[in-house]
């Protein structure tokens, strides 16, 4: 028997619109705005997502779990907001720390409450799939950068390495935003 979701249609409907959530965030507001302003969804991606939405059991709703202090959320939430705006998908945002039962339903690798988490549903609230944290390319890039910095900065402190890693990875965020869109398209194409 399938597990019953804690995300009922009624509970989904009580989520925040993106800009309602944005108005409540306490940190990184300027960075969220910067990454929102710089995020552009390609026309072919918008059309592909709209085509999926037009299928009988296509996506119509997105639940997002997020917290404003998380760098992955700073990069990822503007992407999902732009996708929702461009396609008409109904996006509802829930602060993860206030909705841990939701986070527990969509754990990364079955054990981590990673964010952002984007959960996709049909019009009838049938679960289609979920996407968590960052695109696989970002994970690969981060591993490569960390390995390189550990080799080239072996005499530096962890804090100095962390600053260098942040500078290097932020330069890739725009590319990672596009990879997020592609991975979401792939996820929804398989559901």
Domains of the chain, each with CATH number or no CATH: 9-134 (3.40.30.10)
- The reported pLDDT for the residue numbered 1 is 38
- Which residues of the chain are modeled with pLDDT < 70? 1-2
- The reported pLDDT for the residue numbered 2 is 54
- The reported pLDDT for the residue numbered 182 is 98
pTM of the model: 0.94
The bridge status of strand 127-132 relative to strand 59-66 is: unpaired
């Amino acid at each position: 028997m399938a597990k019953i979701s804690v995300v009922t249609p009624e509970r989904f409907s009580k989520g925040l619109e993106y800009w309602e959530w944005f108005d409540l965030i306490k940190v990184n507001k300027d960075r969220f705005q910067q990454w929102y302003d710089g995020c552009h969804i390609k026309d072919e991606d918008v059309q592909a997502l709209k085509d999926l939405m037009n299928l009988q059991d296509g996506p119509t709703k997105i639940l997002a779990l997020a917290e404003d202090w998380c760098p992955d959320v700073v990069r990822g939430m503007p992407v999902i907001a732009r996708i929702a705006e461009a396609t008409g998908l109904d996006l509802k945002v829930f602060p993860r720390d206030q909705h841990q039962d939701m986070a527990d339903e969509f754990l990364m690798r079955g054990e981590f409450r990673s964010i952002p988490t984007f959960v996709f549903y049909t019009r009838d609230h049938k679960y289609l799939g979920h996407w968590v944290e960052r695109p696989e390319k970002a994970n690969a890039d981060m591993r490569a950068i960390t390995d390189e910095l550990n080799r080239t900065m072996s005499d530096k402190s962890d804090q100095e390495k962390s600053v260098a890693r942040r500078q290097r990875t932020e330069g890739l965020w725009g590319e990672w935003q596009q990879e997020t869109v592609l991975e979401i398209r792939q996820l929804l194409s398989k559901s």
